[in-house]
Amino acid sequence: METDYIVVGLGLGGIAFCEQLRENGKRFVVFDGDSQQSSSVAGGVYNPVVLKRFTAAWRSEEQLKIAVPFYQKLEQILSGKLVYPMPVYRKFASVEEQNLWFEAADKPSLAPYLSPRIIQNTNTGIDAPHGFGEVWHTGRIAVKALIEKYADLLLSQDCLRKEHLDYEVLEGTGTGVRYKDIKARQIVFAEGFGMLSNPFFKYLPLRGAKGELLTIRAPELNLNSIVKSSVFLIPVGEDRYKVGATYNWKDKTNVTTSRAREELLTKLKSLLKCDFEVIKQEAGIRPTVADRRPLAGRHPQENNVYVLNGLGTRGTLVGPYVAKQLYDFIETGASLDEEIDISRFRSRFRKYQAAQG
């Protein structure tokens, strides 16, 4: 079998890159062993503002222009609801935070996203005496549904293999790569945290931050916006809400923990004044990078081997932007954004080579 691309991984990054291939008429085969869960358990919020510091997120304006139309188009392709526009309400802890919000809303880079007025709390199920700041151009992507529906589409087209790719079987051909019965011009690894086992890219500084979320049912809450306090509270329908997320830099498993559950419940109880029940707890490892920027580019020595990774906590917003950058880099020779280009880690590769002998 001959094809243009092999893509490894079907999380947010893998799907975004596959769509670049599909839109441009490229043939591809995807390998996905379903070992990483960070995309499937993600809250799916898209938000252009860092709400801890009231600053614009990296490249947020460019990413919004690409991401929302991207997911809206996928809704049509997959015949299912995926995009849920809704405001994000940032709970204020004090009058001082209100004043900081007003200062931020006056800045040209933030004015399109931050409402210059205080939203008074009228929801009896929430404790917010100082009110909220409203963020515009925000919402939720139903990430798990997206991944499931996209996998079904690829299976129907016979271009998804639900198996792990064995690195030792992969061969270079001079003009591309060969894997078992498949010959491809290029291979793109979009494996998330699984990249740490990849011999081509394990030199890159992928750190990984475990995140755990709860899903609760709260019939009395009646909330139709995302609320951010010490946790995110995200409406997902039928009186259910996702609550998250924790950060753990040491534990690299997808196993849920009682410690994270208690942390989330403690924070949630300080926000809610209504009854709720926990109906699910999930965990996944976010593919975070030491310098907080994605990883994209060509392997330093293998001309047909590429990576797309490190989308971190904002994968829904960042993924389509990085995927387009990488596709244009491979197919047209366009320059990658230097902040995401893995060539910024050349010295790490040289050290890795030296250590391997």
One-character DSSP codes across 301-326: S-TTEEEEE--GGGHHHHHHHHHHHH
Residue 270 has pLDDT above 70, yes or no: yes
SS3 assignment, position 211: strand
> Could you give the CA distance from residue 235 to residue 303 in angstroms, rounded to a whole number?
45
SS3 assignment, position 328: helix
Q: Are 312 and 288 in contact (CB under 8 A)?
A: yes
Residue 190 DSSP label: -
- Look-up: residue for tokens 């399109």? 112
H or E segment to which residue 172 belongs: strand 171-172
What was the pLDDT predicted at 36?
Answer: 62
Q: Are 83 and 72 in contact (CB under 8 A)?
A: yes
Please choose, from the candidates 298, 345, 337, the residue with its C-alpha nearest in 3D space to the C-alpha of residue 321.
Answer: 337
What was the pLDDT predicted at 41?
Answer: 73
Pairing of strands 83-85, 139-141: antiparallel
What was the pLDDT predicted at 348?
Answer: 95
What was the pLDDT predicted at 38?
Answer: 66
Q: List Cβ neighbours of 299 (8 Å cut-off, separation of 6 or more).
A: 200, 201, 305, 306, 307
Q: List Cβ neighbours of 255 (8 Å cut-off, separation of 6 or more).
A: 283
Pairing of strands 226-228, 88-91: parallel
> Is 3.50.50.60 the CATH number for 2-41+144-206+290-356?
yes
Helices (H) and strands (E) in the chain, counts: 7, 21
What was the pLDDT predicted at 150?
Answer: 97
Q: Are 254 and 283 in contact (CB under 8 A)?
A: yes
> Could you give the CA distance from residue 51 to residue 139 in angstroms, rounded to a whole number?
14
> Could you give the CA distance from residue 294 to residue 291 in angstroms, rounded to a whole number?
9
Q: Are 64 and 137 in contact (CB under 8 A)?
A: yes
- Look-up: residue for tokens 């709720």? 276
CB atoms within 10 A of CB 195: 24
Q: What is the pLDDT of residues 217-267, one digit of tens each?
A: 999 999 999 999 999 999 999 999 999 999 999 999 999 999 999 999 999
Round the CA-based radius of gyration of the chain to a whole number and report it.
21
Q: Enter the pTM of the model.
A: 0.95
CATH top-level class for 87-137+209-286?
A: alpha beta
Torsion of CA 294, 322, 146, 68, to 10 degrees: 120
Mean pLDDT of the residues in the chain: 95
Residues in the chain: 357
Please choose, from the candidates 319, 290, 194, 312, the residue with its C-alpha nearest in 3D space to the C-alpha of residue 245.
Answer: 312
> Could you give the CA distance from residue 91 to residue 105 in angstroms, rounded to a whole number?
15
Q: What is the pLDDT of residues 299-332, one digit of tens each?
A: 999 999 999 999 998 999 999 999 999 999 999 9
Domain with CATH 3.30.9.10 in the chain: 87-137+209-286
Please choose, from the candidates 312, 306, 354, the residue with its C-alpha nearest in 3D space to the C-alpha of residue 327.
Answer: 306
**What token pair was written down for 209?**
């931050």
> Could you give the CA distance from residue 159 to residue 28 in angstroms, rounded to a whole number?
7
> Could you give the CA distance from residue 128 to residue 353 in angstroms, rounded to a whole number?
54
Torsion of CA 135, 136, 137, 138, to 10 degrees: 40
Q: What is the pLDDT of residues 10-53, one digit of tens each?
A: 999 999 999 999 999 999 999 998 766 666 678 899 999 999 98
> Could you give the CA distance from residue 307 to residue 326 in angstroms, rounded to a whole number?
9
Residue 273 has pLDDT above 90, yes or no: yes
Q: What is the pLDDT of residues 49-101, one digit of tens each?
A: 999 989 999 999 999 999 999 999 999 999 999 999 999 999 999 999 999 99
Please report which confidence band the pLDDT of residue 193 belongs to, taking 50, 70 and 90 as the band edges. very high
Domain with CATH 3.50.50.60 in the chain: 2-41+144-206+290-356
